[in-house]
Homo-oligomer: A and B are copies of this chain.
């Protein structure tokens, strides 16, 4: 095993430069290897950054090296999707212990580069630094639509929509934290959806009054839209889309609500994971987070059919889950106006 200390910072950067050489590089005049990258950008450029740190956002045995790289790309790029834009360039800051296997580290970056290439996005620079854990900071430079989709445009009467099902990733993380490595929810966590195609179409459609991605949990993120737009959101909880397995797990849980606490990891390793979940399905969907689906609002003039056919053209499931109302007692409520808690349980709460 050759570690990073042996390869050295400059040696490792050379290897990364080789990885990126064959990648899509439209707009890139100078990529990895000079003081800064030189790229062509537009008058509506999108900028966002995201950190994934070992021990905080993931553990090394939760994901393969390539999955770590792919996931960090998809999580970061989700913020560009949420503006209705397209990612074009990436910068990557890597923190790693000197004893890190250099081949493993190359596979992490290989996973990122391959997934990014599939989206026409090029890794153009970054830096390396000693750290006691693996730390990946990805900055995404994107192209926005002429009018990027902000959090602040929702108006009373607007319909609320969400792509894909919610809650699967949070259920997967809960089981991973309890050392259950094989479970039916883990794929939602490992491979966040790429919503670039539908996001770009929504960005150019003129249909959308506000948009955000679901990273911290539906209630939390929709709450940000409500605050920025000075409105409230009323959700039809029966409509919130969830993976069928999560719904089955919820039924199973309600039959024996107090068993979860007594489960030991070893005893249940390999068993059907659904009976190990400690919360009802809706808690994962409303407060779990890590879904990286899109929540957006559409004004009255846009028909349901408009929205459904646009999303269908991009092979993206979409569900109407509520309506924007005048600002009320809480940012996000159920259909009866009862406030929904932002975090279903402390595990997912603010620090």
**Interface hub of A34, A91, A129, A132 (most chain B Cβ within 10 A):** A34
Instruction: Report chain B residues within 8 Å CB of A35.
Output: 48, 79-80, 82-83, 151, 211-213
Size of the A side of the interface (Cβ < 8 Å), in residues, is 65
A124, CB-defined interface residue at 8 Å:
yes
A36-B82, A51-B93, A228-B34 as given contacts; A8 in contact with B46, CB under 8 Å: no
Q: Give the distance to chain B from A136, nearest Cβ to Cβ, in Å.
A: 10
| Copies of this chain in the oligomer | 2
Residues of A56-85 contacting chain B, CB below 8 A:
56-57, 79-80, 82-83, 85
A22, CB-defined interface residue at 8 Å:
no
Q: Tell me whether B38 and A46 are in contact (CB under 8 A).
A: yes
**Interface hub of A41, A82, A83, A85 (most chain B Cβ within 10 A):** A41
Q: Tell me whether A38 and B148 are in contact (CB under 8 A).
A: yes
A35-B82, A35-B151 as given contacts; A53 in contact with B10, CB under 8 Å: no
**Interface hub of A56, A91, A139 (most chain B Cβ within 10 A):** A139
Q: Tell me whether A44 and B38 are in contact (CB under 8 A).
A: yes
Docked complex Cα distance between A16 and B47 (Å): 17
Instruction: Report chain B residues within 8 Å CB of A10.
Output: 350
Q: Tell me whether B83 and A49 are in contact (CB under 8 A).
A: no
**Interface hub of A33, A127, A142, A351 (most chain B Cβ within 10 A):** A351
Docked complex Cα distance between A67 and B319 (Å): 50
A interface residues (Cβ-Cβ under 8 A, vs B)? 4-5, 8-10, 29-30, 33-51, 53, 56-57, 79-80, 82-83, 85, 89, 91-93, 95, 98, 124-127, 129-132, 135, 137, 139-142, 144, 148, 150-152, 211-213, 228, 350-351
